[in-house]
Amino acid sequence: MSGTLEGGQPAQFRLPLRQGQTLSILCHARKSSVGVFVKDPEGDMLASADHNCAHKSWSVAAAKTGTYTVGVLQHHATALKGQSAFYKMHLSAH
């Protein structure tokens, strides 16, 4: 998935995971102001990188079965300046 972030709203993607599965995230962004977060089915934050997701990868283990949320967003100060940021993200569950 890919897109352009404008303003402070994150792009969010929901994935069903079973307990014990691992979610792998690979993020590409041209700007260092782009970050990634992962929330569990209850909306609790499992992992976050506030900025600089350029060509980085993360893995998160699903502690329970349910729908997880992966979001990509711009750093607040950059969003306030009215700048946009392109991102490309690969998600896989195994």
pLDDT digits (tens, 9 = 90+) for 34-78: 889 999 999 999 988 766 676 778 899 999 999 999 999 888 766
Our count of domains for the chain comes to 1
We report the CATH number of the domain holding residue 52 as 2.60.120.380
Rounded to whole angstroms, the Cα distance separating 9 from 47 reads 18
What count of other Cβ atoms lies within 10 Å of the Cβ of residue 20? 10
Q: What is the pTM of this model?
A: 0.86
Rounded to whole angstroms, the Cα distance separating 43 from 41 reads 6
Residue 80, phi then psi, degrees to nearest 5: -65, -25
Residues contacting residue 18 through CB under 8 Å, at least 6 positions apart = 62, 65
Domain assignment of residue 68, given as a range:
2-93
Average pLDDT, the chain: 88
Considering only CA atoms, which of 82, 90, 92 is closest in space to residue 6? 82
